[in-house]
Amino acid sequence: MYTPPFTISAEAINKIADISRLIERYAIRMEQEDALMLRKANKIKTIHSSLAIEGNTLDEEQVRDIVNGKTVVAPIRQIQEVKNAIATYEQFPHLDAFKESDLLRAHGIMMQALVDNAGQYRRGGVGVFSESGCVHIAPPADRVPYLMADLFEWLSGSSDHLLVRSCVFHYEFEFIHPFADGNGRMGRLWQSLILSRLHPVFEHLPVENMVYANQQQYYDAITASSNAADSGPFIDFMLGEIQKTLEAHKREPIKKVPNKIPNKVPNKLLQAFPEIQSITWSVYLQIAANGHLTTMKMAEILGISDRMVRKHINTLKAKGLITRIGSNKTGHWEVNKI
C-alpha cells in the first residue's frame, strides 16, 4: 500500500494529546441550551471563511442572509458559490470520508453551475499561482485517478491517528489538485469530514474560520511541506489551528436562552411523549402558532436546517400530533387534539 511521506514531530504529538482533551470539553459545550444557535453560527462562519479564502467577497452577513433564504444583491457567481456550499454542507452527515465516489459527488454539488466538469477529475494540467508567479505544478491529469485511488486506499487502511490522517490527506489532496477548480474548499471540507469520524463535533467546528484568519501561514505550510517532500510542516500547522479553535470555543460564554417549551406545551403532552426532544416540541409550537409556515421559514426561526425541520415534522406526524390538510404545495398543518 502506498504511504504518503510525512513526519510526526514532538510538537504534533503534544498537540494531538491536547486536542483529544479539548474535544470532550467542546462536546459538553455543544450540549448547552444555545447549541442550535452556535451550530448555525459556526456553519455560516465555515462557509464564509472557506469561500473567502478562494476570493469570494461576500461578507458574513450576506452569507447569513443567503442561508436564511433572503435576497442578496451581489455577483451571481458568488451567490451560486454560497448556495452550493450550503447544499454541500447539508450533505455532510450523508458523506463517507473514506469513499472516493462521495468526494466526486460532493464536488459535483459544490461546483454545480460553476464549472463544466463538476464531479469529475480534471482532464488538463493545472498550477497554483501567487503574485510572484507559479508556486506549484500539479501532477499530469492522466495520473490523477491513480494518485487519488492510492490516497483513499491509504486513508482507509492506515492505522495512524485520524488527526494525522486528516492533515496528510488535506495536504496530499492539495498537492494532487485533482479538480480543475474547487480544490481548496474541497480539501478543507474533506478534512472536516475525516475529523468527524474522530468525533461528531467536528461537523460544527469552524476550523476554516481560523485558517482564513491565518491564510498566509496556511499557504506557507503547504509550500514548506512541498519543499521538504514531507507533509510534516502542514500537519503541525493544521493541528495548531484545530487546537486554537477548540481553545477559543471552550471559552465562549453561553447565551442564556429561556426554555419556554415547558410553559407552552401542555404537561399532558410532555408526560405522554417523554421521548420527544425539545427541538421537536419547538417545531410543534411553530405549527401550533401558524400552520401555514413553510419548513424553510421554520428552519430560519429555529436556526436549524430545512431537512431537520422535515425530520421533526415526520416525528410529530408519526406520533399523531399533527395532520396535513390539503396538498403539499398549498395545504397547511393542523395540531391534533390529544
* Binding site members: 128-136, 181-188, 218-219, 227
Binding-site residues for ATP sit at: 128-136, 181-188, 218-219, 227
Is residue 177 part of the annotated active site? The answer reads yes
77-82: long-range contacts, CB 8 A cutoff, minimum separation 24: 77/114, 78/51, 80/112, 80/113, 80/114, 81/51, 81/54, 81/56, 81/114, 82/47, 82/51, 82/56, 82/58
How many Å apart are CA 46 and CA 242, to the nearest integer? 13
Grid coordinates in use for 137?
A: 505544478
At residue 322, φ and ψ (nearest 5 deg) are -135, 160
Q: What's the half-sphere exposure (Cβ side, CA atoms, 13 Å) at 321?
A: 22
- Which residue in 48, 107, 170, 177 is the catalytic one? 177
CA–CA gap between residue 297 and residue 169 (Å, rounded): 38
- Provide the H-helix boundaries in the chain: 10-29, 35-53, 60-67, 76-90, 100-110, 144-157, 162-176, 183-198, 207-213, 215-228, 232-250, 261-264, 267-272, 278-289, 295-302, 306-318
- Residues carrying an active site annotation: 177
